[in-house]
Amino acid sequence: MKTSNAFALACSALALAAALPAAAQVPGSAEKGRHKASMCVGCHNIPGYKTAFPEVYSVPKLDGQHAGYIVSALRAYKSGERRHPSMRAIAASLSDQDMADLAAFYSAAPQKSASR
């Protein structure tokens, strides 16, 4: 009986691990992400920045954002699920490791107030 319980528990753990998003399975490096973020800072690190392409809207700040959300958003841009021409082009050039590194960098960064 103990063997079947252990086997069932092991199978459940494997199923859960397989169900987790790949972002959770690829560890990110904040240091590597810092070096990769040069393509992001031109829009996402300017307080109050608004873009005019393809329409005028406020660009979201990434500092302090949850890593899983950043990876999920980048994947959605890459797949076309989220539609923004610039973000889709940038995300298309990123590997899963790049996304995890960028997410680790931005999630570790302290949030800055919009008034700065």
Stretch among 9-18, 47-56, 86-95 having the lowest mean pLDDT: 9-18
**Length of the chain measured in residues:** 116
Neighbours of 90 (CB within 10 A): 16
Stated pTM of the model: 0.73
User: What's the rounded Cα separation, in Å, for the pair 12 and 10?
Assistant: 5
> How many domains in the chain?
1
pLDDT tens per residue, range 58-106? 999 999 999 999 999 999 999 999 999 999 999 999 999 999 999 999 9
Two tokens, residue 82: 């989220």
CATH of the domain at 49: 1.10.760.10
Flag whether 113 is in a domain: no
Flag whether 74 is in a domain: yes
Flag whether 3 is in a domain: no
